[in-house]
Amino acid sequence: MADFLVALADFDRQRLWVQLGHASVFYYLHRDLKLSKGAAHYRKVAAQLIQKFPEVVAPFREGKLCISSVVELARVITPENSQDVLPRFFYLSKQEAKAVAVEICPAAVVPRQEVVTKVVTEVPREPPFHLDETPPHAPPAPAPAEYRDSTVPLTPNLQRLHN
């Protein structure tokens, strides 16, 4: 994987994807190499990171830096902090990398939302019906969809819950 990313970084630096008729290295990865959009994005970010910070190549080769944490690393690494920040992302999962990135660079504006609901104090009555009629029935409620709750760190102490 590391050799591929180094070659991809060189390919991107030379903009060879233009000669192949693509608007970006992302589209080259997605359309020509048939990678999913997610996989193409991770590799594009990794290639750009290698171009700016060649010191990330060794951790990729050694297996210390995971492709799934590279997006968060790219968000917070700078030339000034690269020596301190890079080791903090070693052996981290994507979710762990998000938490570290938020510690380094917390969200500037934490979105807040108040939800106001009306309290029902009376149970609504159904309209009357005649005994020879069948009572009106509401259509059955759809089965609840399967949801997977997830959290997105905003600051070291605040997280957004998605469900």
What residue spans define the domains of the chain? 2-104
Q: Which tens digits make up the pLDDT trace of 93-107? A: 999 999 999 888 876
> What number of H helices and E strands is found in the chain?
8, 2
Three-state SS string over 112-154 comes to CCCCCCCCCCCCCCCCCCCCCCCCCCCCCCCCCCCCCCEEEEC
**pLDDT band of 74, cuts 50, 70, 90:** very high
Residue written as token pair 């990794």: 46
Q: Which tens digits make up the pLDDT trace of 11-49? A: 999 999 999 999 999 999 999 999 999 999 999 999 999
Handedness of CA 7, 12, 15, 20 (dihedral sign): positive
Give the burial string for 21-32 (b: 16+ CB within 10 Å, else e).
Answer: ebeebbebbbee
Q: Which tens digits make up the pLDDT trace of 49-60? A: 999 999 999 999
Indicate yes or no: pTM above 0.85: no
CA distance 103 to 121: 45
Q: So what's the pLDDT on residue 139?
A: 58
